[in-house]
Amino acid sequence: MFLPEYPDSPTPPPAHTHTPIETAPVRRSLPSVSIDQKTVVALVVGGVVLTAFLAAVAVTAPSVAVAAVVLRSMLRDHHRR
Protein backbone atom coordinates (compact mmCIF):
# COMPACT_ATOMS: atom_id res chain seq x y z
CA MET A 1 0.00 0.00 0.00
CA PHE A 2 1.32 3.44 -0.91
CA LEU A 3 1.15 6.29 1.58
CA PRO A 4 1.48 9.94 0.47
CA GLU A 5 4.66 11.73 1.43
CA TYR A 6 4.32 14.88 3.49
CA PRO A 7 6.97 17.59 3.89
CA ASP A 8 8.91 17.62 7.13
CA SER A 9 8.44 21.36 7.72
CA PRO A 10 5.84 22.32 10.33
CA THR A 11 2.78 24.27 9.29
CA PRO A 12 3.18 28.05 9.47
CA PRO A 13 1.33 29.93 12.21
CA PRO A 14 -1.99 31.46 11.18
CA ALA A 15 -1.81 34.98 9.77
CA HIS A 16 -4.75 36.18 11.84
CA THR A 17 -4.96 35.55 15.53
CA HIS A 18 -8.35 35.76 17.15
CA THR A 19 -8.69 38.32 19.90
CA PRO A 20 -11.43 37.82 22.47
CA ILE A 21 -14.38 40.10 21.93
CA GLU A 22 -16.62 41.55 24.56
CA THR A 23 -19.56 39.39 25.38
CA ALA A 24 -22.97 40.63 24.30
CA PRO A 25 -25.05 42.25 27.02
CA VAL A 26 -27.52 39.96 28.69
CA ARG A 27 -30.92 40.36 27.11
CA ARG A 28 -33.65 40.92 29.63
CA SER A 29 -36.76 38.87 29.27
CA LEU A 30 -40.10 40.60 28.83
CA PRO A 31 -42.43 40.64 31.78
CA SER A 32 -45.05 37.94 31.69
CA VAL A 33 -48.49 39.08 30.61
CA SER A 34 -51.47 37.38 32.11
CA ILE A 35 -54.33 36.90 29.68
CA ASP A 36 -57.65 36.53 31.41
CA GLN A 37 -61.15 35.89 30.11
CA LYS A 38 -62.04 39.60 29.90
CA THR A 39 -59.10 40.25 27.60
CA VAL A 40 -60.11 37.44 25.26
CA VAL A 41 -63.73 38.65 25.20
CA ALA A 42 -62.59 42.21 24.44
CA LEU A 43 -60.40 41.02 21.57
CA VAL A 44 -63.17 38.88 20.09
CA VAL A 45 -65.74 41.70 20.34
CA GLY A 46 -63.26 44.14 18.79
CA GLY A 47 -62.62 41.72 15.95
CA VAL A 48 -66.33 41.29 15.31
CA VAL A 49 -66.89 45.06 15.26
CA LEU A 50 -63.97 45.64 12.89
CA THR A 51 -65.20 42.87 10.62
CA ALA A 52 -68.67 44.44 10.56
CA PHE A 53 -67.18 47.80 9.59
CA LEU A 54 -65.17 46.17 6.83
CA ALA A 55 -68.26 44.41 5.50
CA ALA A 56 -70.22 47.67 5.58
CA VAL A 57 -67.52 49.45 3.58
CA ALA A 58 -67.31 46.55 1.12
CA VAL A 59 -71.07 46.75 0.50
CA THR A 60 -71.33 50.55 0.49
CA ALA A 61 -68.47 51.32 -1.91
CA PRO A 62 -69.99 49.57 -4.97
CA SER A 63 -73.41 51.05 -4.16
CA VAL A 64 -71.97 54.56 -4.12
CA ALA A 65 -70.12 53.87 -7.38
CA VAL A 66 -73.29 52.67 -9.11
CA ALA A 67 -75.25 55.66 -7.80
CA ALA A 68 -72.55 58.02 -9.11
CA VAL A 69 -72.67 56.45 -12.58
CA VAL A 70 -76.47 56.66 -12.70
CA LEU A 71 -76.48 60.25 -11.49
CA ARG A 72 -73.83 61.24 -14.01
CA SER A 73 -75.84 59.60 -16.79
CA MET A 74 -79.01 61.41 -15.72
CA LEU A 75 -77.24 64.76 -15.58
CA ARG A 76 -75.65 64.22 -18.99
CA ASP A 77 -79.06 63.45 -20.51
CA HIS A 78 -80.53 66.52 -18.81
CA HIS A 79 -77.83 68.82 -20.26
CA ARG A 80 -78.33 67.47 -23.81
CA ARG A 81 -81.98 68.61 -23.97
DSSP string across 60-75: HHHHHHHHHHHHHHHH
Q: Of residues 1 and 67, which shows the higher confidence score?
A: 67
Q: What 3-state DSSP class applies to 42?
A: helix
Gap between the Cα atoms of 80 and 64, Å rounded? 24
The amino acid occupying position 1 is M
Q: Is 21 helix (H, G, I), strand (E, B) or coil?
A: coil
36-60 pLDDT, tens digit each: 899 999 999 999 999 999 999 999 9
Does position 79 have pLDDT exceeding 80, yes or no? no
